[in-house]
Every structure is written in C-alpha cells, then in structure tokens.
Structure 1
C-alpha cells in the first residue's frame, strides 16, 4: 500500500539518538488505526530493522487516554468478506514485521491498549504502563472473532486465561496486567515514555549479534503457530463478515455513541 500524507501525520517518527520513537497520532479517535496507518507502521519498522543508525524502537500513542483503541470501527463496518481477507493480510504484514524485528522493541503504553493494539503491545519485547493502562481483547463486543488475539494471549498467558479474556471481552486493569507479567513496569504517567526510552537504550547497548540471534529464535520457535493462526483468521473473518454480524454490531455501537 502507498503511504499517503495523512498516514504520515497519523504515525509520527522521530530519531532520538538512535532510538526511533514512533507515535500513533489520532488522539481524537483514541489512536485507533486504519489501513494507511498500518502500512506506515510496517514501513517504519522494516526500515528501522535494516537502518544501522537505528538501535531500538519505542512505540507509543499521543494524548493521555490511549496507546491505541484498536481497529477503527468506522473502517471495519464497511468491510465485506473479501475486504476482511485483505484486512487480515494487513495484520499479517504488521505482526510479521514486529515478530521479525531484530532490535529492541519497547511499548510505552500511555493508556488503553485494546484489541489489535493489545496484540501489538504483546508482540513487543518490554511493556511499560501506568495505572490507567488497561489492556484487553474486546473484539467479541464488536461482533468480531478474536483469532489472532486468542493465539497471542495463549502464548503469553496460557489457554485458560486466553479463553476467559476472549469470551468476556473485558479489559484488565494495569495492576492485573503487571501481576500477570504482561506489563513489565508500572510507573507514573509522566514517566512512561522516559522509562521506555531508558530501557530501549539499555537493551540497545547489549551485544548486537547475541540480541539479534535471540530474537530470531523467539520468532522461529513460534512461526508455525503464527502461520496457522493467520490462515485461520483469514477464513474465520471471511465467514463472519460475509454473514454481516460484525458490520451490524459495529454500526449499532457507533450509532449509540453519537
């Protein structure tokens, strides 16, 4: 996908002494993402992976309310089955880029991380949040299947908790996320980004080949499950969007929110 000018404004990038700070920048939509944002993020991550001037990446959101609310429902409600398959391919590219990134990837969770944003956060190396950094998988509340989310949560949290979070769609508190180990550090809101940048610099100072080979091994050890999950997601979302339930539920939610 061509990266348009709007997407450049919606996903900002700044080199801070060799650490690429990427900021999701749609605060009026709680940084919810659309296709151009996903394409821009893939390009930035892939570019950083091969750029010797970039030693680490920190991903965060703008504003004080959300890292990212996940999928923009205004986009999702327009999908049919064929577009849903293309949508999953967009996520395959983004999640694949995150999984193949061979340098430190730090998630600075300045607020809510829901749905695909929760999944994205879990694909980072280290996560820092504050007391308002709720995380969860609320797709079922929008009529969507949680195919990729289930797999990522199962890898991180185990089968029982993954099932519970997928079927309830609840958001876990920052304290629970910290207790479960999916938030590694809880700090004051104003310290989230400085802490993330500090950890990024610390990890970037590790022996680079050992770091790279470790991350390659993490990816390889889970690649078969990732490939199976993305194929299942393509088929399940095609079935759901062909039936029309996600579009209907998203439309009802957006109409109530007006």
Structure 2
C-alpha cells in the first residue's frame, strides 16, 4: 500500500454495499503526490470490479477533502523535460478517467477544502454532499499555474461566465455558495457529511445496476472528447508556463512562506 513513513495515504473501507475511499494525508490537507494518485486509481479499479460494491464514496481525512497537487512535488518538475511534464498531466488524465469510467455511482463527501485538482476530482463524482464551512475553488492561477483541465471540469456545471471567474480569480467559495452554484448537490451539518454521503450511496447502490451503468455510460460519452481536448491543451499550455519560469517562482515563494 502507498505509505509515507507509516501513514497509509489512501484508505479503503466498506459500509455494506458502499466502498469508502479516503484520502489520508490530513497534515497536508490531503494534497496528493503521484504515488498517492496511483494507489487511489488501484482502489477505484478494485471497487469497480468488486461485485459486492454497488457505489463508491470519496472523501478526505481531517479538515480537507483534497487541497490538490502537493506543490513540493510539482516544484521539482524540470521545465525542459517535456516528457516528464506530459507524464504528470497524463497521470491526472488517468485518474479522472478512473472515476468517470466507473459504472457504479460515486458520491463525494466534501468534508472541507476542495481546491485545484482536488476540486476537479470532487466535480467528477456523480453527487457531492458538503457543509456550509467547506471551501471549493480553482486557485492554480495564484501559484502561476494555468487552469486548463479545471476549465473542462467546471464548464458544464458553471457555464462560461462563472468558469471564467473561478479560473481567473482563484477565489474559493463556501459551501452555501457552492450549493447555490451546483458545485454541491446537498448541504448537511459538518458532522453528518460522511454519514449522509454513505446513506446517499446506499440508496444509489439499491437502484437497478444495469440502468445505472448505461446511464453513466452515456454521461461519459458526453465528456470523453472534451477531456481528451483539455488534456492535450494542458500539455501545450503548461509547457509554455513552465518555460517562462513563473510557476517555479510562485511555488517557491509559497513554499518559503509556508515554512516560516
């Protein structure tokens, strides 16, 4: 299993027919590394192939769902190593498709901060349950990183105007606003988020599995081409951004301030 020291960074539990997958790096707000995402994909595949699992809940340990990419890892990307940069983006492509390709319903229990690629990941779930104190948004631009796959993830929920606002300002919204915008399906008290998500997943797991799978298949068809285009664009745009040196400077500044 994926570990940092003795800490297992992605957990898999069962609640009856529901697989609960928990990002477990709370001291880093569940910001993920490539190794952590690989383990997450393994668990998603396991849940998808397990005949005893009817639905999946995605959540995070502690006070965050997922703060997105660990900038300490991203800061090591060599701007001249295009293969490494492309492989990093391909890793997210595979992660996002691992969620989209599940024929079983998915529910995100947004227990706290969902930012950057963590925000995008939450939006891939079929339903999202959170609380008023949750914080959601796309702050990449604040670190000098263009939001390209983020535009794809937000577009069909928010539309052009709101997607532009989120992508360009880096603003995080609270749970109340997220619910009004459709980023969250439902709000519950903070202490009930996970239980409500599991209860919702159990309801979905009880539905006729064939109809659910075929419906999800059609939804997947509507997104597949747009995701392919977003990934290709991300490779081109990120190469230009890193060649300018701006992301490296902004991430170094962020890491320096965090270390104080």
**What's the TM-score, normalizing by structure 1?**
0.96
Alignment correspondent of 1:102: 103
Where does residue 140 of structure 1 map in the other structure?
141
Alignment partner of 1:174 is 2:175: yes
Structure 1 position 9, deviation (Å)? 0.3
> What's the offset of the Cα at 1:217?
0.3
Contact 1:77–1:248, Cα closer than 8 Å, also in 2: no
1:156, CA displacement in angstroms? 1.3
Deviations, residues 182-201 of structure 1 (Å, cap 9, x unaligned): 11111111100110000000
1:11 to 1:4, Cα distance in 2 relative to 1, 3 A: closer
User: Is contact 2:129-2:197 (8 Å) kept?
Assistant: yes
Q: Is the 8 A contact 2:85 2:239 kept in 1?
A: yes
> Could you tell me which residue of structure 2 aligns to residue 223 of structure 1?
224
CA deviations on 1:54-102 (whole Å, 9 max, x unpaired) are 1111011101x21111111111111123322111010000001111111
CA deviation vs aligned residue, 1:25-53 (integer Å, no higher than 9, x gap): 11110110000111011111122112112
1:35 lines up with 2:34 in the alignment = yes
Deviation of 1:18 after TM superposition, in Å, equals 2.2
Q: Do structure 1's residue 153 and structure 2's residue 151 form an aligned pair?
A: no
SS in 1 for 2:8: helix
Partner of 1:205: 206
The yes-or-no answer on 1:46 pairing with 2:45 is yes
In structure 1, what is the Cα distance between the partners aligned to 2:15 and 2:192? 17
SS where residue 158 of structure 1 aligns?
helix
- Partner Cα distance (2:103, 2:156) in 1: 20
Aligned-partner Cα distance in 1 for 2:42–2:204: 23
Report deviation, 1:4. 4.0
Give, in whole Å, the separation in 2 of the partners of 1:57 and 1:6. Answer: 25
* Aligned CA-pair RMSD: 1.3
| Superposition pairs of residues 1-258 of structure 1, within 5 angstroms | 4-6=2-4, 9-63=8-62, 65-81=63-79, 82=82, 83-258=84-259
**Alignment gaps of 5+ in structure 2:** none
Distance in structure 1 (CA, Å) of the matches to 2:151 and 2:106: 22
Question: Counterpart of 2:77 in 1: which secondary structure?
Answer: coil
Contact 2:134 2:175 in 1 (8 A): yes
Deviations 1:97-119 (A, max 9, x none): 11111101010011010000110
> What is the Cα deviation at residue 203 of structure 1?
0.4
Mark the runs of 5 or more structure 1 residues left unpaired by the alignment. Answer: none
TM-score by length of 2: 0.95
Q: C-alpha separation between the residues in 2 aligned to 1:60 and 1:105?
A: 11
Decide whether the 8 Å contact of 1:80 with 1:242 is kept in 2: no
Contact 2:17/2:205 (CA < 8 Å) preserved in 1? no
Distance apart, 1:242 and its partner CA: 2.6
